[in-house]
Amino acid sequence: MNSFADTQIRKADHLRICLDEQVQCRDVTNGLEHYRFVHNCLPDLDRDDINLSTSFLGKKLGAPILISSMTGGTEIAKQINQRLATIAQHYKLAMGVGSQRVAVENPQVADTFAMRAIAPDAVLFANLGAVQLNYRYGIDECLRVIEQLEADALILHLNPLQECVQTKGDTNFRGLLEKIAGLCDKLSVPVIVKEVGNGISAPIAQKLIAAGVAAIDVAGAGGTSWAKVESERATDDKQRRLGATFADWGIPTAECIVAVRSISPDVPLIASGGLRNGLEIAKTIALGADLAGLAFPFLQAANESEEAAHALADVLIAEITTVLFCTGNATLADLKRSGTLKAV
């Protein structure tokens, strides 16, 4: 297992690279441009009556927005998480934190993740890499990160491509499904499984659901490319080339949503991967997602200031509301049933 110092350096590198380098997918998109809403020029609605509230895993939210898992483990990351937790509390949004492995290795940095005091009413998701279950992690470590955050659920993220490109990455994924199933059976909080930007296919989703996973975050291609991120920080030419070759690898987010919904109409579903505005959030909801996760836009805003993060959340909510108003739907459930999103 890498040392705490190595993990903390990697956390700092990831944050810097995501903010300063061009690591967004270039040749693959989230796929949402292939869909368009049918405009309703005579909505039988008062815009003030539109209700964006929803529930996810039994928790109430003010809007279908997840501040996706990003960071932790450093002082800069702590400030970003604190700003984001303030936003989650104010707007009643869900929020995930970055991988808490660094806090397992050194509990002294656990406060960079511990956001419950700032967001007492928000829905908070703890986070660990699923592959760590093959590197001496088990239920004790999962319970520790849940306790650190006082989390409502645990995210286990899947990142085989990132680990392949990362110098000295953890690449033993053998037998993980069985270990995930064991955690689902033993933990008292729901387990969410997500990718990190390369997507979850229908067959894999079906296996995860059968294993007892409570929700799926498809985290499709079209946003930040973690192959590019790891290529930027690679220490040898082979790893840099791997990152460049696989920079646009993955299943677009829209395809993931449709595919997962085709095999399970009911599994709680998060759409993330390259979402940049409220119109795209609304498209994912109309396609069948329950929540939409954004990382990079919130990271940029929170790195700038708490005010910028507030402004982002405010405009996202306004954009979603505008979609509902201009399609004649008063609620998210109405939008899902309306059939107003068409493939083009």
Whether residue 69 has pLDDT greater than 60: yes
- Burial (CB count within 10 angstroms: exposed 0-12, middle 13-18, buried 19+), residue 172: exposed
- Using an 8 Å Cβ cutoff, are 255 and 31 in contact? yes
Question: What integer pLDDT is reported at residue 81 of this predicted model?
Answer: 97
Sign of CA dihedral 323, 325, 328, 330: positive
Residue 1: pLDDT band with limits 50, 70, 90:
very low
CB-based burial, 76-100: b 16+ in 10 Å, e otherwise = bbbebbbbbbbbbbbbbbbbbbbbb
Question: What integer pLDDT is reported at residue 235 of this predicted model?
Answer: 86
For tokens 């039994």, name the residue. 58
- Burial (CB count within 10 angstroms: exposed 0-12, middle 13-18, buried 19+), residue 215: buried
Question: What integer pLDDT is reported at residue 213 of this predicted model?
Answer: 98
- Using an 8 Å Cβ cutoff, are 139 and 104 in contact? no
4 or 280: which leads in pLDDT? 280
Tokens for 334, please give them: 């109405």
For residue range 298-344, list pLDDT tens digits in order: 999 999 999 999 999 999 999 999 999 999 999 999 999 999 999 99
For residue range 221-277, list pLDDT tens digits in order: 999 999 999 999 998 999 999 999 999 999 999 999 999 999 999 999 999 999 999
Question: What integer pLDDT is reported at residue 6 of this predicted model?
Answer: 75
Whether residue 89 has pLDDT greater than 50: yes
Give the rounded percent of residues in the chain with a pLDDT score beyond 70. Answer: 99
- Using an 8 Å Cβ cutoff, are 259 and 207 in contact? no
Q: Which residues pair with 270 in a beta bridge?
A: 217, 291
Residue 76: what are its φ and ψ, rounded to 5°?
-65, -45
Write the CB contacts of 5 (distance below 8 Å, at least 6 apart in sequence): none
Sign of CA dihedral 290, 210, 223, 97: positive
| DSSP codes of every residue in 281-336 | HHHHHHHT-SEEEE-HHHHHHHHH-HHHHHHHHHHHHHHHHHHHHHHT-SBHHHHH
Q: Point out the least confidently predicted range of 9-13, 73-77, 312-316.
A: 9-13
DSSP state at residue 225: -
Question: What integer pLDDT is reported at residue 301 of this predicted model?
Answer: 97
Q: Calculate the average pLDDT of the chain.
A: 96
Whether residue 13 has pLDDT greater than 90: no
Question: What gap in Å lies between CA 179 and CA 79, rounded to an integer?
Answer: 34
Give me the domains of the chain, ranges plus CATH numbers: 4-343 (3.20.20.70)
CB atoms within 10 A of CB 147: 12
Whether residue 65 has pLDDT greater than 60: yes
Residue 3: pLDDT band with limits 50, 70, 90:
low
Whether residue 11 has pLDDT greater than 80: no
Sign of CA dihedral 143, 53, 64, 287: positive
For residue range 124-143, list pLDDT tens digits in order: 999 999 999 999 999 999 99
